[in-house]
Amino acid sequence: MMLSADKLNKKSPYQLTQINDMAFRFVTDQHISYIVGFYKDSFFMGDGSYLFFIDNADKEHGAYDPKIFDVITLVLEEFFSQEPTVMLYICDPTDQRQAARDRLYHLWFYDYARNHEMTLYSDSVTFKDTKYYAGILLRHDHPLHDKILTSYQKFLRRVPERYKLREK
């Protein structure tokens, strides 16, 4: 799978720079740099699932910026136009802001799902006093919808052992 910055830049409010086949860098009006994209995740269900990420490369926080959601929406549209895929997300708990990330992701992804015939499943699991938030986004008509949902429930129980906390 390959996503195209050239295609996305025709509609994107921010200029996207291609980093690799599945990731882009952009800089907001507040001069905050982000990296957004996907990487193949074979742990969740083998072939066909990708882990979504957005990284605030500068570790700076600015005022609310609705254009970031617009970029995310375009990236998701390009991603889901490729093939019947599953998008997985796990909120990074390193800085104890995973609940805030989950609320933001849920807002973004629920709105996207509602407008694009998609289904969003999200949940959390606690392990050693750390709460892990995770979710999946997939098409309503995905041919393996029920199997994916079952795999997701099993996956949630294994998130803490497979996705170790990384030091910042």
5-162 architecture in CATH? 3-Layer(aba) Sandwich (3.40)
Phi/psi region, residue 78 (left: phi>0; alpha: psi -120 to 50; beta: rest), is alpha
37 Ramachandran zone, left/alpha/beta (phi>0; psi -120 to 50)? left
Residue 142, φ and ψ in degrees, nearest 5: -55, 130
CA 21/CA 111 separation, integer angstroms:
26
Query: In whole angstroms, what is the distance from residue 155 CA to residue 29 CA?
Result: 38
Buried/exposed code over 104-138 (b: 16+ C-beta within 10 A; e: otherwise): bbbebbeebbeeeebbbebeeeeeeeeebbbbbbb
What is the average pLDDT score of the chain? Answer: 83
Burial of 32 (C-beta count, 10 Å sphere; 0-12/13-18/19+):
middle
Q: What does residue 35 show for φ and ψ, rounded to 5 degrees? A: -120, 130
Dist CA 45 CA 29 (whole Å): 38
What are the domain boundaries of the chain?
5-162
Whole-model pTM: value is: 0.80
pLDDT in tens, 92-145: 777 777 888 888 888 888 888 888 888 888 888 777 787 878 888 888 888 888
Q: Which residue has the higher pLDDT, 93 or 27?
A: 27
Contact 130, 163 (CB under 8 A): no
Query: Do 125 and 152 meet the contact criterion of CB atoms below 8 Å apart?
Result: no
> Over 60: is that where the pLDDT of 51 sits?
yes
Instruction: Check: CB of residue 161 under 8 Å from CB of residue 42.
Output: no
Confidence band (pLDDT; 50, 70, 90) for 37? very high
Q: What is the pLDDT, as a whole number, of residue 164?
A: 55
Percent residues over pLDDT 70 in the chain? 90
